[in-house]
């Protein structure tokens, strides 16, 4: 998984298993014979874009290294309802214990990839790219941003450490919207963190014009109307990357992209996404 370390993946799965299993899967232990061997098929119950198969494999591996998992659907590919995404064979007890966590990861990540793909399709024919945000599930950001990439989206900053994003609350707290104070902030950022991208959020065209002269790498246009987005694009030309954000939906993203902005950041990719409908169906092995 690109940009997802094996150690991070191992640790996230371990935390999930500890949370779910606790002192033991009492239901499975009391109902399933120890020697029962089954095969299971992971099946898409609706059209979706696949993301998270390596996580599924890691869940099965940690629960029982003897389980045989075969991944069928490749990451980032579209699959129809009814298609088999993967198969697993081995001890029924192990598969039952792993089932819920494996599906939780796969459903969540495939849901993110699927909705991202819809946004990407909605802006086809424009130069705009769809970006995610930091509105992710605590602890799962690397996986959720990976799922965005599998859906064809682009990752925004990963945290508070890899890119500047000065927002209105920063300026309110620092009383820093005067031109001289803004200039000092920009100079300090460039001096102390050379090469790090600088992005500044603005709420109005007047703020845009003030910020533009400080030459940030990106200007975030927060909750701009379509008319003001077009005015912003006309004002800056191609001298600064423009990013639209704030309340973006599938119904509005196409029109926003057609204003000429370079990027559109969408919190809904991760903060309120619907998990994909996926099941694990058993067959008893002879």
User: What tens digit of pLDDT does each residue of 135-163 get?
Assistant: 999 999 999 999 999 999 999 999 999 99
Tokens of 57: 């494999």
Q: What is the mean pLDDT of residues 68-77?
A: 98
What local confidence, expressed as pLDDT, does residue 181 receive? Answer: 73
Write the pLDDT tens digit of every residue in 240-278: 999 999 999 999 999 999 999 999 999 999 999 999 999
284 near 40, Cβ under 8 Å? no
Q: Which residues lie closer than 8 Å to 244 by C-beta, 6 or more apart?
A: 128, 220, 221, 224, 229, 256, 259, 261, 263, 264, 265
3-state secondary structure of 43: strand
Q: Rounded to the nearest 5°, which phi and psi values hold at 222?
A: -90, 115
Tokens of 116: 């991202």
Pairing mode, if any, of strands 278-284 and 37-44?
Answer: antiparallel
Q: Which of 58, 75, 99, 201 is catalytic?
A: 201
CATH topology of domain 125-269: TIM Barrel (3.20.20)
CA distance 210 to 235: 12
Q: Which of 87, 167, 231, 258 is catalytic?
A: 167
Q: Identify whether 124 is a catalytic site residue.
A: no
Q: Which of 134, 135, 230, 231 is catalytic?
A: 135
The domains of the chain are located at 6-119+274-284, 125-269
Tokens of 4: 């997802």
Per the listing, tokens 């120890």 go with 34
CATH topology of domain 6-119+274-284: Aldehyde Oxidoreductase; domain 3 (3.90.1170)
Q: What is the DSSP letter of 269?
A: G
Which run of H or of E encompasses 131? strand 129-131
Tokens of 78: 């579209």
Q: Identify whether 144 is a catalytic site residue.
A: no
Q: Identify whether 135 is a catalytic site residue.
A: yes
Q: Which of 30-39, 180-189, 194-203 has the lowest mean pLDDT?
A: 180-189
């Amino acid at each position: 998984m690109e940009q997802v370390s094996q150690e991070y993946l191992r640790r996230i799965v371990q935390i999930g298993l500890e949370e779910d299993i606790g002192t033991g899967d009492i239901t499975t232990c009391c109902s399933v014979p120890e020697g029962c061997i089954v095969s299971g098929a992971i099946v898409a119950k609706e059209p979706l874009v696949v993301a998270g198969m390596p996580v599924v494999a890691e869940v099965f591996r940690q629960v029982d290294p003897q389980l045989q998992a075969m991944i069928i659907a490749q990451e980032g590919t579209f699959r129809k309802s009814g298609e088999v995404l993967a198969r697993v064979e081995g001890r029924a007890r192990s598969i039952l214990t792993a089932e819920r966590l494996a599906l939780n990861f796969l459903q969540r990540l495939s849901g993110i990839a699927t909705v991202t793909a819809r946004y990407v399709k909605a802006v086809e024919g424009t130069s705009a790219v769809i970006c995610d945000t930091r509105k992710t599930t605590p602890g799962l950001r690397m996986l959720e941003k990976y799922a965005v990439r599998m859906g064809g989206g682009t990752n925004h900053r990963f945290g508070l450490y890899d890119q500047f994003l000065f927002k209105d609350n920063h300026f309110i707290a620092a009383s820093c919207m005067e031109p001289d104070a803004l200039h000092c902030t920009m100079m300090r950022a460039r001096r102390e963190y050379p090469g790090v991208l600088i992005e500044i959020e603005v709420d109005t065209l007047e703020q845009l014009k003030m910020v533009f002269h400080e030459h940030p790498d990106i200007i975030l246009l927060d909750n701009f109307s379509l008319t003001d987005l077009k005015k912003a694009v006309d004002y800056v030309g191609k001298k600064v990357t423009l990013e639209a954000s704030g309340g973006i939906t599938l119904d509005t993203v196409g029109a926003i992209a057609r204003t000429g902005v370079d990027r559109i950041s969408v919190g809904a990719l991760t903060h309120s996404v619907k998990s994909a409908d996926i099941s694990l169906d058993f067959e008893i092995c002879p």
